Amino acid sequence: MSGRSAPPRSDTPWRADLRRSRQLFADFRVEQTDPARFYGALARDSVGQLSGYLDLRGATMLDVGGGPGFFRDAFEAAGATYWALDADVGELSGQGAIAAGTVIGDGMRLPFRDDAVDLCYSSNVLEHVPDPWRMAEEMLRVTRPGGIAFISYTSWYGPWGGHETAPWHFLGGARARRRYLARHGHEPKNRYGESLFEVTVKQGLDWARTQRLGEVVDVIPRYNPRWAYGLTRVPGLRELVTWNLVIVVRAR
């Protein structure tokens, strides 16, 4: 396998600037009506960001909770061999047929051997599993020494923590779920306590500090501009301004 550590590629103009944050936000606003636009943009953004940690050309990667395939297209275009694992057949078939190289399984018990991939990637999944840090450790287990685990999740006290029940999750997840049911006549897609859990920025920082499976390369708010990265050091405020936290670990 290749995928050795590499500096950012010169043809990858990925920059965590304000323009990028604003564009991602604009794309996010049409997530329901035009998912291809939002997820396509997010996938291309991920390729640019990941290219700063390893060379994707020839790298073997696993996308845990990959969903319907937008990320496959972007990572394959960048030269990676892309495997996806997801627990939900309905999610996987959201764009049509399920692509070859897709595995049905549980992110907390990955059906892969140790050191199998150069990159283990997960985007917006940790908050959907009941034991998120077990999933993070599984991701590092399957990443070869020197490879990268990129762990990204929606933080609970961020603006989108409650997903479609936001902003009512600030009054409690169970209450927000009940309110949604009363208003819409059906349960939200992401059901608090079943398929949506409270994962905070502090939990991520604590896990990153105490885990022994790799060297932490970055802990950063995914969508914020670089000048706002320091906010993750401010307790309380960091929970409110971080939509999504990324933990990047180089496996031992």
Ligand X SMILES: C[S@@+](CC[C@H](N)C(=O)[O-])C[C@H]1O[C@@H](n2cnc3c(N)ncnc32)[C@H](O)[C@@H]1O
67 binds ligand X (CB under 6 A): yes
228 binds ligand X (CB under 6 A): no
131 binds ligand X (CB under 6 A): no
125 binds ligand X (CB under 6 A): yes
Distances (CA, A) of 164 to 20, 34, 159, 200, 226: 24, 16, 11, 18, 27
- In 3D, which of 147, 133, 155, 152 has the Cα closest to residue 209? 133
Q: CA quadruple 151, 107, 56, 40: dihedral positive or negative? A: negative
Q: Phi-psi bin for 46: left (phi > 0), alpha (psi -120 to 50), beta?
A: alpha
Query: Is 122:148 a contact under the CB 8 Å cutoff?
Result: no
6/73 with CB nearer ligand X: 73
Residues 174-213 as x/- pattern, contact with ligand X by CB under 6 A: ----------------------------------------
Which of 65, 158, 173, 188 touches ligand X by CB under 6 A? Answer: 65
129 binds ligand X (CB under 6 A): yes
34/215 with CB nearer ligand X: 34
91 binds ligand X (CB under 6 A): yes
What angle is formed at CA 74 by the lines to CA 231 and CA 239, rounded to 5 degrees? 20
Amino acid at 243: W
Query: Is 205:218 a contact under the CB 8 Å cutoff?
Result: no
Q: Which stretch binds ligand X (CB under 6 A): 13-21, 59-67, 72-80, 209-217?
A: 59-67
- Closest contact distance (angstroms) between CB of 194 and ligand X is 10
List residues near ligand X by CB under 6 A: 39, 64-67, 85-88, 91, 106-108, 123-125, 128-129
